[in-house]
Structure 1
Amino acid sequence: MIIIMAGGRSSRMGREKPVLKVGGVPMLLRIYYEAEKAGETVVALSRNTPKTRELCLREGISFVETPGKGYVKDVMYLLREFGPFVSVSSDLPFVTVSDIAAVKKAFDGETSITGVLPLRLVPKDLKPLLYKGYAIVGLNAVGAEGERFFELSNPLLAINVNTPEELRLANRIARLVG
């Protein structure tokens, strides 16, 4: 199971991120179209994302409602409801089916995986979340036992749209890469 996490408050952006367009397409749809190629996909949303719910209903996309009380609580809720799953953040507009399939293949169903990029692959002008010499990306696998890093190779995964400035950057990149 692949779950697109789309229920956050989007406090830094000031509006629902999943419905914001990158390259003329809502980020959620860009991600969903890639994820569904890798397997059964559902969108996790909450009371924080009414426009995202409307988009899912309009497009016929399956969704589940989470408590909406923070990422960790929502992930724990989903783990109880669905068991182990691959998690994709709804603000990764350049995630590909290959990225998702790589995490899915590496996942043993028990040990959680945190998707990371080696810093050498991160474009210099980006300021990603760093931990232990890696850029953390929003593509993971959620299990019940421990955690390990999994290196990905798509440099565009470093583009995580959290602010209006990052949305402008994503749109510039979308014009270049399609």
Structure 2
Amino acid sequence: MSSATPFSALILAGGKSSRMGRDKALLQLNGQSLLAHMQQLALESGAAEVLISRNLPGFISDQLPEQGPLAGILAALQHCNGSQLLVLPIDTPLLTVTRVQQLLQHANGKACYFSHSPLPCVLPVSPALNCLISAQLRSGQRSVKALLTQLNAVSLTAPVIELLNTNTPDDWQQYLLLVNSGSLYAKA
């Protein structure tokens, strides 16, 4: 089941991947890059469009460099056609269509996220959101969680395993062990 409200999806893949030591978006997952995997997740979840924040030619680049995910979200809002924006971090490969659709269904025009992590999240697209993010960045506050708090976002629970963040080589190896051992499906 997809969201009744048309939505855009944004994949945040603009970080330096410094803890991973190589570009996380290019990590291979079942014969495809993590970036392609996340694009597929967004489309299977019902996204009308998929935007990619990636500070490389051919992608959406941050207008405010070195400001983290909020700068990526702010830059993408200029390209967003949906009334809701699903924001997906590049490094959550265990996230499922079911979990994404849960976020979208509970958002219903409001901001929504999982209590264990501010990303992924759903944001209501409006000029007010642009202003709020811009003001937050001007004040030096780069926290997505702080933005969600200001938006009185709905917080949902989700299996922690689906929100496993693969920031380091050890995280990636843990992910591969879970997938290859089959224990992922026993826990999910």
TM-score norm. by structure 1 comes to 0.70
Match of 1:165 among 149, 170, 173: 170
Shift of 1:66: 2.4
Q: C-alpha distance in 1, partners of 2:12/2:158?
A: 22
- Aligned position for 1:17: 24
CA contact (8 A) 1:92 1:138 kept: no
Deviation, 1:108, is 2.6
For residue 100 of structure 1, what is the aligned residue in structure 2? 100
8 Å Cα contact 2:10/2:85 also seen in 1 = yes
Cα distance per residue 1:112-133 (max 9 Å; x no partner): 22222xxxxxxxxxxxxxxxxx
Any conservation in 1 of the 2:94–2:163 contact (CA below 8 Å)?
no
The reply on whether 1:30 has 2:11 as its aligned counterpart is no
Equivalent runs, 1:27-106 vs 2, <5 Å: 27-39=34-46, 40-47=48-55, 64-67=59-62, 69=65, 70-82=68-80, 84-106=84-106
Amino acid at match of 2:50: V
Deviation at 1:23, TM superposition (A): 4.6
| Residues 1:141 and 2:122 aligned together | yes
Residues in 2 aligned to 1:174 and 1:45: alpha-carbon distance in whole angstroms? 27
Letter of the 1:65 partner, please give it: I
The CA RMSD measured in Å over matched residues stands at 2.4
Partner of 1:59: none
Q: Over residues 4-32 of structure 1, what are the superposed CA-to-partner deviations in whole Å (9 max), with x where a residue is unaligned?
A: 21121112112211111245542222222
C-alpha separation between the residues in 2 aligned to 1:32 and 1:77?
18
Q: State the number of aligned residues.
A: 146
Q: 1:147 to 1:8 in 2, by over 3 A?
A: farther
Identity %: 20
Check whether the contact 2:60–2:76 (CA below 8 A) recurs between aligned residues.
no
Gaps of 5+ in 2: 1-7, 130-149
Check whether the contact 1:35–1:96 (CA below 8 A) recurs between aligned residues: no
The question of 1:114 aligning with 2:113 is answered yes
- Contact 2:114-2:155 within 8 A present in 1 as well: yes
Give the partner amino acid of 2:70: V
Q: Whole-Å Cα distance in 2 between the matches of residues 142 and 37 of structure 1?
A: 19
- Is contact 2:107-2:154 (8 Å) kept? no
Distance 1:45 1:75, change over 3 A: closer
- Return the alpha-carbon distance in structure 2 between the equivalents of residues 35 and 154 of structure 1: 19
* Unmatched segments (≥5 aa) in structure 1: 54-63, 117-134
TM-score, reference length from structure 2: 0.67
